[in-house]
Amino acid sequence: MSETTMHVGLVIYGDLNATSGGFRYDRQLVSYLREQGDTVDVISLPWRSYPRGLVDGVSPSIRAKLDRSVDVLVQDGLCHPSLWRQNHQLEKPGAIVTLIHHLRSDDPTERFGPTFRPFERRYLESVDAAISTSQFSRTRACELAAELGRKPTLVAPPAGRTEGAAVTPERVRKRAVTGPLRVVYLGNVVPRKDPKTLLAAIARGHPERDWELTVVGSHDADPDYAASVVMAASEYGIDDRVEFTGKIEPPGLEAILERSHVCCVPSRYEAFGMVYLEAMEYGVVPIAGSVGGAGEFVEHGHNGFVVEPGDEAGITTHLQELDDQRGRLAQLGKRALVTARQHPTWDESMSDIRAFLGKQSDGEQDV
């Protein structure tokens, strides 16, 4: 426990226990701060449509929930619709720090994303400091709101599930030479993560290749889209090669990762990409989308591959290469293990955040 403790407020939408990488990051932060003896108030705001959220941005009742005597008020940046006009009117927090998982106005699957920019910009201009989960997110936020670049910022990447290597290099080598190429998709079945491009890539190898695909993730975020993905597998004639598990508990996920060769989530936008790191902990070779922060730890051709959005042909080429060259599959998998071992742990990133928050609560303004 730290000798100097803080009173921290954390603003989120909805339930802190919700399923997503962002909420998992927020939970890790709350847990770490409390372990250090800090008091953390989780301030849950209603999760509404974007237009309705903007109305909350001028709501006195929302302002009353936010304006409390805390040393630091940390705000999940995804809540910006409800905060864009609130911060300048808050009198009690010692400092306001945004936690940027990704910019909503950057998401290419947000139909009205470009119209979000003025509100997201105004929000970013209203905070005292910023924490980003990747250098990519920090850069994009400072490009959107130039004023933010003159304020204190910190990049604190998330960790994986095991925080290091979950299997041995020898296990990766043996797995690489056994059975058909086994591919796993990890994540909610939503347009931003683009599972349809992966299905198209798998279909390109059919029927010559006996690749197997396991799609792990909830269908609840966008049920209509998820249903269309299941239908697409049937239309491509590969439904006998594709298993949709839905959301599964950690033991089941770990078992899938232990037997998989490749993790492909060809996201159109991914601010960090925790699933790639989680796969690398098992020596599973990641194929990641190029737009976002995954390139900060997935090195193309060294420990995985990075593909442009919608590049089904590129994905097929990489799968064919790994299928035909099992020694290379093992080599990339073992390099992925090294990356996972060297990546910051949750405690390291959360410790950096806590020190950063302490400086903001003390009024230090080093950029």
Structure tokens at 343: 């990546």
pLDDT more than 70, % of the chain: 98
| pLDDT tens-digit map of 86-102 | 999 999 999 999 999 98
Q: Give residue-wise pLDDT tens across range 171-208.
A: 999 999 999 999 999 999 999 999 999 999 999 998 89
Over range 322-338, report the average pLDDT.
98
Residue 324 has pLDDT above 90, yes or no: yes
- Name the DSSP letter for residue 345: P
Residue 15: pLDDT above 60? Answer: yes
Written as six digits, the tokens of 72 are 């630091």
Name every residue whose Cβ is closer than 8 Å to that of residue 26 and which is 6 or more positions away in sequence: 10, 12, 16, 76, 99
As a whole number of angstroms, the distance between CA 21 and CA 188 comes to 10
Q: Which two tokens stand for residue 139?
A: 């850069």
Assess contact for 62 and 325: CB atoms under 8 A. Answer: no
Confidence at residue 362, expressed as pLDDT on a 0 to 100 scale: 79
List the domain boundaries for the chain: 7-159+345-361, 169-342
- ∠ CA 194-195-196, nearest 5°, is 90
pLDDT of residue 19: 65
CB 199 within 8 A of CB 225: no
Domains 7-159+345-361 and 169-342 share a fold: yes
Residues 6 or more apart whose CB falls under 8 angstroms from that of 168 comprise none
Give the side-chain half-sphere CA count within 13 A for 339: 28
The pLDDT, as a whole number, for residue 54 is 96
Kindly tell me if the per-residue pLDDT of 18 is higher than 80.
no
Task: For the domain made up of 169-342, give the CATH fold.
Answer: Rossmann fold (3.40.50)
For residue 239 the two structure tokens come to 């439904």
What are the distances in angstroms from CA 153 to CA 8, 130, 132, 196?
18, 5, 8, 36
Distance of CA 120 to the CA centre of its chain: 19
The pLDDT, as a whole number, for residue 3 is 66
pLDDT of residue 22: 82
Cα–Cα distance for residue pair 62/127, rounded to 1 Å: 17
Report the pLDDT value the prediction gives residue 16, as an integer from 0 to 100: 86
For residue 365, the model assigns a pLDDT of: 56
CA atoms within 13 A on the CB side of 358: 13
Q: Domain 7-159+345-361 - what CATH class?
A: alpha beta
Q: Report pLDDT digits (tens) over 21-75.
A: 788 899 999 999 999 999 999 999 999 999 999 999 999 999 999 999 999 999 9
The answer to pTM > 0.85 is: yes
| pLDDT for the residue numbered 110 | 84
Residue pLDDT, tens place only, 225-277: 999 999 999 999 999 999 999 999 999 999 999 999 999 999 999 999 999 99
Indicate if the pLDDT at residue 2 is higher than 60: no
- The per-residue pLDDT of the chain, averaged, comes to 94
